[in-house]
Amino acid sequence: MIANCRSLEDRIPGCQFLGLVTSAENNYFEDSFKFLNVSKEERENYEMEKVAADFIAIMREAAATGSLSCCLAVLCVCEWSYSEWGTTASKNSKVKVSEQQRGSKRQVLP
């Protein structure tokens, strides 16, 4: 996606996003699974829902096209989905997380 941006100025936000998702903060889900006692075996051996498989196919198709607009459209949906999921999970959560469990920079769970 970054390679298909028209200018360096247009590439910078994408590069910053890649830096974020590949930083030390990229272990959110692993930390969450550990906190919830979800084993590696459980994480690796699951039956994917059709909607998830379909969305993965759309993401791969967008990446294969090399179209910046297609990639951005898919990323927008992905980010929005995560935001909605996190907001809903946070509101419905019965799990109370202590400050020690949250860490100083981020929460293990919303």
Residue 36 identity (one-letter amino acid): L
Name the band, by pLDDT with cuts 50, 70 and 90, for residue 94: low
pTM of the model: 0.53
Distance, in Å, from the CA atom of 14 to the CA atom of 64, rounded to the nearest integer, reads 17
Q: Residue 94 corresponds to which tokens in the numbers above?
A: 């019965």
Where do the domains of the chain lie?
Answer: 1-46, 48-94
Say whether pLDDT at 109 is over 80: no
61-93: pLDDT as tens digits: 988 887 878 888 888 888 888 778 777 777 777
pLDDT in tens, 32-41: 888 889 999 9
Secondary element (H or E) of residue 26: none
Amino acid (1-letter code) at residue 69: S
